[in-house]
Structure 1
């Protein structure tokens, strides 16, 4: 039985309910990451005994599932475009924005799909945007490809943000401190392609990089969708 199919306890003492449990868990994760979330810690946040929470959830994984579904409600836009590219683009950018608000989301992306109502609605929006443009297998692979890009890009960005906080070094600070080493290594001539990228490449911020990569993925999917069947 999933946590969404689990009925709330009859005659549950007010004011404890599933919505308050989710809100407390999300707040703890926003403050301290997933390691700050446990049934006991959520119960303490609500001034309740841990056993009371087990009437609503069966394990910490249930909390994670509920938290991800709660954030999926932030990802789904109120209105959706009739253009498949715009729909997928909006969903991708809203996912990134949600992950920047809730960094712990990056740690839970890419696993088994969430089966909560909001997660299913996000998946439905992706598939519906592509519906009728190709056979269902191609549609599913296209949605998975966009999802894989979004997950990877978000995880990298969040990892960089965490590294900056852990070391106290901004990207510019890191480049300054390690620049001499990189310069010496490039001067050996062993890495000509890397040297060209370092010296001639355009430096993009995270938002620009995400948007550019996403457009390339969507371009590739568009080419696949318009290619005549073999």
Structure 2
């Protein structure tokens, strides 16, 4: 599953939505193309000429990437993690999210395909990356809205530090993540290394669109990214 190489020195090109290939050697090559997702395959209202439910957010982030969240870097490869098992359900109680997963793949263009645009209660996970709970940074992406109405991650920007994110997995286990921070980045200067870098412990990134809606481009200018770490597990 080859992906085009980025023109810059970062593991992925500017944009968002790429995935950390946590335990494999595919990460340096594949991330270059995956990083273009939010630019070319927006998790927003890409088909309409106006947003249906534009998020209420502050001005776009400055070009320089903000300091790394506390969970973005770990001093050692130790910590809680789980064996591989595909995610089946995402729950974020604080914003009333309860949604099934769909696997995401790389399309013919070399970019990661977005979840179906007309299913407003569905989140996507790149099936070639680590599963949520495995050692590494699992990436979950969803629409903020679509042409049919508000979508699953409409309220993602309002998640608070310390909130929990529960992911039920195919083996019956539940991975519970605790939110470390919620950041908003300009798509024009997206900090790929911060968001997509491999991690020595089990982490999670939740990504959607946000910020100002560009009517001409039919896309949001920013991305909202939730950084979280694995806090506890439940097994059947």
- Smaller-chain TM-score range? under 0.3
Q: Return the TM-score normalized by structure 2.
A: 0.25
Instruction: Judging by fraction of residues, say which structure has more strand.
Output: 2
The structure carrying a bigger helix percent of its residues is 1
Structure scoring higher RCO (CA < 8 A, sep ≥ 6) equals: 2
Query: How high is the TM-score relative to the length of structure 1?
Result: 0.25
Bigger radius of gyration among the two = 1
